[in-house]
Amino acid sequence: MLADSIEDGREELMCILPVPSRLMVAFRRTTLCGTLDYLPPEMIEARAHDEKVDLWSLGVLCYEFLVGKPPFEAEGNTATYRRISKIDLHFPQHVSDGAKDLITKVLTVFTESNVTVSFV
């Protein structure tokens, strides 16, 4: 969605319509942008990726809300990159099985068969 100011100072939200999947190949990117703890393996490894990697950040947020720290936090950037690339994910005992299941399904390398926003 994009926000656009209108005359009285309110913001109006405009929806961007979905693009047919056959056109999505044109939208694949290889750039690296974002906060280290929220970067998916595809971005760290400079592989082509699309909007599905945004679900990764949702998984990181869910983990962080439940645990109080990012799931791949490590000593230094290189160690964090390594944990993300390997998807080295560990849960404290207090995290429920349902939460573990959801987060594990979202924190994965994305393919056409992965979870969708509607699943989450």
User: pTM score, two decimals?
Assistant: 0.65
For residue 48, the model assigns a pLDDT of 74
Total domain count, the chain: 1
Q: Residue 49's closest CA among 117, 110, 119?
A: 110
37 part of a folded domain: yes
Domain that holds residue 93: 28-106
Amino acid at residue number 64: E
pLDDT in tens, the chain (120 residues): 444 444 545 444 444 444 444 444 444 444 445 578 888 888 887 777 677 777 888 899 999 999 999 999 999 999 999 999 999 999 999 999 999 999 998 898 765 556 666 666
Among candidates 118, 88, 117, 80, which has minimal Cα distance to 104?
A: 88
- Cβ atoms of 19 and 27 within 8 Å: the answer is yes
Q: Is residue 95 part of a domain?
A: yes
Does residue 76 sit within a domain? yes
Residue 90 lies in a domain: yes
21, part of any domain: no
* Per-residue pLDDT at 96: 96
Whether residue 56 lies inside any domain: the answer is yes
Classify residue 72: in a domain, yes or no: yes
Domain containing residue 84: CATH number: 1.10.510.10
